[in-house]
C-alpha cells in the first residue's frame, strides 16, 4: 500500500469516526420537550350579603373562593335597583352600575363601603359579584342576591 493510499484510508477513517461521534452525541443528547403552559385558571367568587344603613347600601361583600392564575384587573358588584324582584341581566358594561372595589383582591371575604342611596320608587335590589381579568374576560359569581326593602 502506498503512502497516498494509507493517507486516504486514514482520512476516510477520520471522517467516519467524526461522523460517528456527532451521530452518538446527537442521539444521546436529551430531547427538548417544551413544558406545557399552565392551564389558565380564572377566579371563582360568590356574592356576599349587602348591608344597609337607613336608605342607603352601606357595604357590599364578596368572597373569592379562588384567585386563579390570571391577573384580576377589576372586581366588584354589579347591581340594579328595581320596582320589584324581576330578574335582570346583571353584567358589567351594560345598563346597570358597578360598585368597583379598590383594594387588591384577596382570598376569602372582601368588602367595601359605598353608601349608595336607594332611589325612590324602587323596592328591590338585585346584585352579583364579578371579576374582570387581563384580556377582558369577566367571571361572575355563582350566585346572585336579591333584597327587598
- The residue among 107, 109, 145, 108 whose CA lies nearest residue 128 is 145
Residue 67 has pLDDT above 80, yes or no: yes
pTM: 0.74
- The residue among 136, 135, 118, 104 whose CA lies nearest residue 127 is 118
Confidence band (pLDDT; 50, 70, 90) for 143?
very high
Question: With contact defined as beta carbons under 8 Å apart, do 144 and 98 qualify?
Answer: no
Q: How many residues does the chain have?
A: 149
> Domain extents for the chain?
1-33, 44-148
Considering only residues 72 and 36, tell me which one the structure prediction assigns the higher pLDDT. 72
Separation of first and last alpha carbons in the chain: 111
Considering only residues 79 and 32, tell me which one the structure prediction assigns the higher pLDDT. 79
| CA-angle at 129, arms to 124 and 133, nearest 5° | 150
Tell me the mean pLDDT in the region 66-93.
93
Place of cell 350579603: 49
Tell me the mean pLDDT in the region 56-73.
97
Q: Per residue in 43-56, pLDDT tens?
A: 999 999 999 999 89
The grid coordinates listed for 48 are 356576599
Considering only residues 40 and 98, tell me which one the structure prediction assigns the higher pLDDT. 98
Assigned CATH class of 44-148: mainly beta
Place of cell 443528547: 29
- The residue among 88, 89, 86 whose CA lies nearest residue 138 is 89
Amino acid at each position: 500500500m502506498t503512502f497516498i493510499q494509507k493517507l486516504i484510508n486514514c482520512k476516510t477513517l477520520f471522517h467516519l469516526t467524526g461522523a460517528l461521534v456527532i451521530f452518538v452525541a446527537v442521539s444521546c443528547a436529551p430531547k427538548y420537550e417544551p413544558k406545557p403552559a399552565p392551564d389558565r385558571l380564572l377566579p371563582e367568587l360568590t356574592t356576599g350579603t349587602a348591608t344597609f344603613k337607613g336608605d342607603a347600601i352601606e357595604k357590599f361583600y364578596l368572597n373569592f373562593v379562588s384567585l386563579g392564575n390570571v391577573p384580576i384587573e377589576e372586581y366588584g358588584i354589579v347591581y340594579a335597583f328595581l320596582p320589584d324582584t324581576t330578574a335582570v341581566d346583571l353584567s358589567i358594561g351594560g345598563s346597570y352600575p358597578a360598585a368597583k372595589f379598590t383594594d387588591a383582591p384577596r382570598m376569602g371575604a372582601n368588602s367595601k363601603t359605598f353608601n349608595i342611596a336607594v332611589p325612590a320608587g324602587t323596592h328591590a335590589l338585585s346584585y352579583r359579584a364579578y371579576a374582570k381579568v387581563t384580556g377582558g374576560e369577566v367571571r361572575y359569581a355563582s350566585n346572585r342576591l336579591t333584597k327587598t326593602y
